[in-house]
Each structure stands twice: as C-alpha cells, then as structure tokens.
C-alpha cells in the first residue's frame, strides 16, 4: 500500500486524561480528517466505527501507556491494552473478511508496541533487543502490552489477518502528556520546583524523537511484510541522570533560572520505581536494512526542539496542569486497585 496525501484518516480515541483535542487543532478542519470519540473497550462501538469507515489500514496506538499509573491502577491497563486490542482485532478481522480479494491483500493492521515487553538488559554496551528477544515484561504496563502483542500475532497465525507489530523505544517531543520524564523535567524547571530523579538516575533508555517514530510507522505500514515485527530505536542511549542534566543545560541557555543558579541544582533523588528495569536498548538493524528507515533527529537536535516547543506552547501545558494532574509523583501506591 502506498501512503500518499490522498488518504482519509479517522482518529478513534476515547479521550482519557492523556487524550487532548487541542493537540489536533492544526488538522481538525482538514476535510480528509475525522474524529470519533470511541472507547476501544466498547466492542460494539469499535465495530460500528470500523464497519462505517471501512479502513484500508488500522494503526493501533490507543493505550494506557504510563508505567507509574500501571503500578497504582493495573485494571485499566488490562481493559484497554488487552481487551481493547482484542476488540480491534475482532472488528478488523470481520472487516478484512468482507473485503474483495485485492483490497484484502492490501489491508494491514499495525500494532504499535514498546521495547519494554523485552524486559531489562544489563549495563550499557551489553546487548540490545532484537525482534527475536524473548518477552520478559516486568511492569503491569509492559505485561499488558506483551499480552496485546501476542494476541495480534495469534490473529495473524490463526486467522491470517495481515498484521504488523512494531516495538519502539522511549519517545519524546511536542505534545507529550506532562507525566513522562522529559516534560516533567522541563516543566519542573520552568516552575522552579525540584526535579525528581528515580533511584540514582542510573537507568538507561534509548530515546527517539516522536516524528521519527511516526515516519517509521508509515514506513512499516506501507512497506513492511505482513506477519513481521520491526524494532524501532533512536540509537540514543542515555542514563536518566545524563538526560536530565542535558535538559537542564539547554534550559540554562534558553530560560535561565531567576536565581542565577544552574537548573541542575534542583535535581533531587527520590525513591526508585518498583520493578524499575535497568536498561532498554533497541537493535534497529532490521527496519534500517529491509525498509530503509533511519532516525533524522539526534539527541542534541531532538531535545533542543522539544524544550523550545514547551517554551513556546505554555498555554497547552498550563491548561493540562490546571486539571487533576499537577506533576505529582505516581507509582508508589500499588494497593489502590488491588481486588
């Protein structure tokens, strides 16, 4: 399937705390864009949308995605990530079976997943996740995503649904809900508050600029081979402490602290995340060699763009922080939802 500017897009989203129509204002008037407020845990609702829209491609990104929230309340992660994926698969399968042979051959179901399903690697330099690394998830979030990945592959192997699975490293960039590490650090700096670093800040993540992830997803959905998995990574490994210091340095230049002190002085080490994986790193050789995708942003350019975006879009994040969530620590209250 060729991806071109002529496609129509239906965006299906239930608008949880993480969803935000203000992030889509640039495209909402486009005649080829439509929005449907639908919850993927509602099988009938999903089925109706799929039947009416008759997609050539389903790109499945809807999820509960924050590890700390999954520790406090795992139930919603099972509902959305596991049951919701099952509902999308069933509706897509029924739809795919109704297509004429040519259209059925072109149809793709792209499931967007995470590198966290592979578990934890040893210290820096010791191996990377490939597409054949055995699954070993440790958090309710990664376990629910691993479960959904298995469902997607089973719908391919059992029913022949032409699926693709991608497993990506940590994303960052504009419009990221301010509970993830990078916006937390930027906004804590801008508000003059202490900057929380979990444990000793030794955990290592690979960081990928969100638009590079989007380009990878378009590449996979248009050129990937049905039934295959593609790992997506930025080749940008950093300890959390290195990452936080880099952001502080950029902010020292672009928005110095009113006290004249470097932002790094506000770094505070806080209790570690339970079950915190030490290191994730992606081997992206397959997507690079087979599909020709490579990240366009590196650590320096991507982080600078991201900091500049949060500086220029204060009203976007202020309106989020005027609601229920105000950058408070999550993930230390695992008893809340246990039944």
Point out the residues that are catalytic.
115-116, 141
Minimum distance of ligand NAD from residue 279's CB (angstroms): 16
Strand partners, 112: 166
Minimum distance of ligand NAD from residue 41's CB (angstroms): 5
Q: Which residues bind ligand NAD (CB under 6 A)?
A: 13-16, 18-19, 39-41, 61-65, 80, 84, 112, 114, 145, 168, 170-171, 177
Under a CB-based contact definition with an 8 Å cutoff, are residues 232 and 287 in contact?
A: yes
The bridge status of strand 237-239 relative to strand 170-172 is unpaired
Residue 256 backbone phi and psi in degrees, to 5: -60, 150
Nearer to ligand NAD, 77 or 96 (CB): 77
Nearer to ligand NAD, 266 or 320 (CB): 320
Minimum distance of ligand NAD from residue 332's CB (angstroms): 20
Minimum distance of ligand NAD from residue 275's CB (angstroms): 17
CB-neighbour burial class of residue 218 (10 A; exposed 0-12, middle 13-18, buried 19+):
middle
Number of residues in the chain? 339
Radius of gyration (C-alpha) of the chain in whole angstroms: 20
Nearer to ligand NAD, 264 or 330 (CB): 330
Q: Which three-class secondary structure state does DSSP give residue 111?
A: strand
Nearer to ligand NAD, 14 or 120 (CB): 14
Alpha carbons 12 and 150: distance in angstroms, whole number? 23
Cα 144 to Cα 69, 88, 126, distances in angstroms: 13, 15, 26
């Amino acid at each position: 399937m060729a991806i071109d500017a002529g496609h129509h897009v239906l965006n299906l989203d239930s608008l949880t705390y993480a969803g935000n129509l203000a992030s889509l204002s640039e495209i909402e008037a486009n005649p080829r864009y439509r929005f449907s407020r639908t919850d993927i845990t509602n099988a009938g609702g999903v089925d109706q949308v799929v039947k009416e829209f008759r997609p050539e491609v389903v790109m499945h990104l809807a999820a509960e995605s924050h590890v700390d929230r999954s520790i406090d309340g795992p139930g919603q992660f099972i509902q959305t990530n596991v049951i919701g994926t099952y509902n999308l698969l069933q509706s897509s399968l029924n739809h795919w079976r109704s297509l004429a042979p040519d259209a059925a051959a072109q149809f793709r179901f792209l499931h967007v997943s995470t590198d966290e399903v592979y578990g934890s690697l040893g210290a820096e330099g010791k191996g990377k996740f490939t597409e054949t690394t055995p699954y070993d998830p440790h958090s309710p979030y990664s376990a629910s995503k691993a479960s959904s990945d298995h469902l997607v592959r089973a719908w391919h192997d059992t029913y022949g649904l032409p699926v693709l699975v991608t497993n990506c490293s940590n994303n960052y960039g504009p419009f990221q809900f301010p509970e993830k590490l990078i916006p937390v650090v930027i906004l804590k700096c801008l508000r003059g508050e202490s900057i929380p670093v979990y444990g000793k800040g030794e955990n290592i993540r690979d960081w990928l600029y969100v638009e590079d992830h989007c380009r990878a997803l378009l590449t996979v959905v248009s050129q990937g081979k049905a039934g295959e998995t593609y790992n997506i990574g930025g080749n940008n490994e950093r300890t959390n402490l290195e990452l936080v210091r880099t952001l502080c340095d950029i902010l020292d230049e672009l928005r110095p602290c009113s006290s004249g002190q470097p932002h790094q002085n506000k770094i505070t080490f806080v209790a570690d995340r339970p079950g915190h994986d030490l290191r994730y790193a992606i081997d992206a050789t397959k997507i690079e060699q087979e599909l020709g995708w490579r990240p366009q942003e590196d650590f320096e350019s991507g982080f600078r763009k991201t900091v500049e975006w949060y500086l220029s879009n204060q009203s976007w994040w202020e309106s989020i922080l005027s609601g229920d969530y105000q950058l408070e620590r999550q993930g230390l209250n695992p008893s809340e939802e246990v039944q």
